């Protein structure tokens, strides 16, 4: 599953490689979430790309395309005459410019709309994003406190609370914050909640830095996929289970995380 840092890294790459292209042709293989005639994008100049949570947004002179790659989606940018790396049956969106073409494979969500309406809709649905220029630490804390009876391990995956946190990040955040994912939010102290929110921001930025540098995030992982390995802090064995009711892979050091 693409998490916030990966979405942001894709946006940065698109800005660098598709900058200034004018849409000469467009192919969209979806009939859902298309709110305007597709041909309205023809002749529009690509302005920039950004991310909001796990969503990637492409802006074109008042119009926008939202992409959510979920588990298997990917974005590639080719020279205009270059052959595609994957069969056309996997293409969900293809934008041809003058010199480059942007191809989205296997994305389950491709949404096209007026930019203002699309962005406002997303902002109303999502919590504050640690990688956004408008990151609001206090709003994130406030959002968590609205779900007092929820387990913190589940709440961190709720995109309306904090946008962009996926399963890898939530495991690593809770390990560094020394908090067990089974604890309810009402059982946490304000200091613990503040630490969790600050760790969301810190780790999201660290993950993004490695993505931009083209590095694997493995060296940052202290608990994720470390089942039965020794905790790097205390030496205790890391345990693994599927947290209910969301059935997501969960790794915990029960000695460090209380």
Domains identified in the chain and CATH numbers:
4-125 (3.20.190.10), 137-252 (1.10.8.50)
d(CA 190, CA 216): 33
Contact between residue 195 and residue 202 where contact means Cβ atoms under 8 Å apart:
no
Give the tens place of pLDDT for each residue, 46-98.
Answer: 999 999 999 999 999 999 999 999 999 999 999 999 999 899 999 999 999 99
Nearest to 172 by CA among 225, 215, 98: 225
CA distances from residue 33 to 65, 73, 147, 209 in whole angstroms, order as listed: 10, 17, 30, 32
Query: Residue 115 above 90 pLDDT?
Result: yes
Q: What is the pLDDT of residue 1?
A: 78
Give the tens place of pLDDT for each residue, 186-216.
Answer: 999 999 999 999 999 999 999 999 999 999 9
Burial class (CB within 10 angstroms; exposed 0-12, middle 13-18, buried 19+) of 1 = middle
Give the tens place of pLDDT for each residue, 136-167.
Answer: 999 999 999 999 999 999 999 999 999 999 99
d(CA 41, CA 112): 9
pLDDT tier for residue 229 given thresholds of 50, 70 and 90: very high
Model pTM?
A: 0.95
Q: Work out whether the CA dihedral 237, 241, 243, 246 comes out positive or negative.
A: positive
Q: What is the pLDDT of residue 32?
A: 83
Q: What is the pLDDT of residue 212?
A: 95
Contact between residue 68 and residue 92 where contact means Cβ atoms under 8 Å apart:
no
């Amino acid at each position: 599953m693409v998490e916030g840092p990966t979405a942001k890294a894709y946006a940065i790459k698109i800005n660098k490689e598709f900058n200034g292209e004018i849409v000469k042709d467009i192919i969209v293989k979806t009939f859902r979430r298309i709110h305007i005639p597709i041909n309205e994008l023809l002749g529009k100049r690509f302005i920039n790309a950004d991310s909001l949570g796990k969503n990637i947004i492409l802006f074109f002179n008042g119009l926008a395309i939202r992409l959510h790659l979920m588990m298997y989606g990917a974005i590639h940018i080719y020279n205009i005459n270059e052959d595609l790396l994957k069969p056309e049956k996997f293409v969900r969106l293809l934008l041809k410019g003058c010199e480059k073409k942007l191809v989205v494979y296997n994305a389950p969500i491709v949404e096209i709309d007026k930019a203002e309406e699309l962005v406002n809709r997303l902002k109303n649905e999502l919590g504050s994003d640690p990688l956004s220029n408008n990151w609001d630490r206090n709003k994130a804390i406030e959002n968590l406190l609205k779900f007092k009876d929820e387990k913190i391990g589940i709440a961190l995956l709720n995109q309306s609370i904090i946008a962009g946190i996926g399963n890898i990040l939530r495991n690593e955040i809770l390990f560094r914050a020394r908090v067990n994912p089974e604890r309810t939010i009402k059982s946490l102290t304000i200091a613990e909640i503040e630490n969790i929110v600050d760790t969301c921001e810190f780790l999201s930025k660290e993950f993004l830095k490695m993505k931009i540098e083209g590095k694997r995030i493995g060296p940052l992982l202290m608990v994720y996929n470390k089942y039965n390995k020794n905790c790097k802090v205390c030496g205790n064995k890391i345990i693994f289970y599927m947290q209910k009711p969301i059935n997501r892979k969960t790794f915990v050091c029960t000695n460090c995380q209380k």
